[in-house]
């Protein structure tokens, strides 16, 4: 897996009391924007081509990348209007050069083992592979159920669960297959693609019990300050 789309257009409305006037992925963590930790993880995993899906205050992210990563092989997909997660991915996929591409959120760090899961995605000829995080005692996320062959069995709504596999917000996507779908310009990747098409397409889930942090709420933003490294 050599190419990734990073969804980095979020406003970060739930973090406004702590981080104002910045895209969510640019929230500072010990002297670096959160996006830094996402990029460094991907570089260490062998990803060398990046497509940044941008919207709100895209110029801040572009300026940061030009300064911090001047040699990075990068393209920008900038929304003129909010397109939803699905519309943003669809627009960014038009710039992709690889058959399969990694999709992830700029405000979430999920340290999946990219090399091994890439092999599983290819062996199954999957349209989409979802990376799942085991979690205990939670109500912030819905749950993904798997069949015995690891194909997606169902998506369950958000409620309290004692245990379950959550969608970690990281996917491997077959670009051509996805772009052939009859999907609108503005849509939700989770609701209108995954949850609508899982029983009609080759969609699989891979469980990875690795480090996971989503800074979407103040509590987890503060947690990231404690767990992630100091200024680089």
Q: Which two tokens stand for residue 145?
A: 């159920």
232 pLDDT more than 70? no
Q: What is the mean pLDDT of residues 204-213?
A: 94
Q: What is the mean pLDDT of residues 33-57?
A: 94
Task: Write down the domain spans for the chain.
Answer: 3-129+169-203
pLDDT for residue 230: 60
Determine contact, residues 142/166, Cβ cutoff 8 Å: yes
41 pLDDT more than 90? yes
User: Sorting pLDDT into bands at 50, 70 and 90, what band is 97?
Assistant: very high
pTM of the model: 0.93
56 pLDDT more than 90? no
231 pLDDT more than 60? no
Which CATH fold would you assign to the domain 3-129+169-203? Spore Coat Polysaccharide Biosynthesis Protein SpsA; Chain A (3.90.550)
**Mean pLDDT of the chain, nearest integer:** 91
Q: Which H/E stretch holds residue 88?
A: helix 84-93
pLDDT for residue 20: 66
């Amino acid at each position: 897996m050599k190419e990734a789309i990073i969804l980095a257009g979020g406003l970060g409305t739930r973090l406004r009391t702590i981080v104002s006037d910045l895209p969510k992925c640019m929230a500072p963590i010990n002297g670096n924007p959160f996006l830094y930790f996402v990029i460094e993880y991907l570089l260490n995993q062998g990803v060398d081509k990046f497509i940044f899906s941008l919207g709100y205050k895209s110029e801040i992210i572009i300026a940061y990348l030009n300064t911090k990563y001047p040699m990075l092989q990068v393209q920008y997909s900038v929304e003129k209007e909010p397109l939803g997660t699905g519309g943003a991915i669809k627009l960014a996929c038009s710039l992709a050069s690889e058959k399969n591409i990694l999709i992830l959120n700029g405000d979430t760090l999920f340290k999946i083992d990219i090399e091994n899961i890439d092999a599983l995605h290819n062996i199954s000829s999957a349209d989409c592979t979802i990376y799942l995080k085991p979690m205990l005692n939670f109500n912030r996320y819905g749950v993904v159920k798997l069949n015995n062959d690891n194909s997606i069995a169902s998506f369950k709504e958000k409620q309290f669960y004692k245990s379950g596999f959550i969608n970690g917000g990281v996917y491997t996507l077959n670009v051509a297959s996805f772009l052939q779908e009859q999907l609108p310009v503005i849509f939700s990747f989770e609701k209108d693609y995954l949850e609508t098409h899982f029983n009609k397409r080759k969609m699989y889930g891979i469980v990875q019990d690795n480090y996971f942090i989503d800074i979407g709420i103040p509590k987890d933003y503060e947690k990231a300050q404690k767990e992630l490294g100091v200024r680089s």
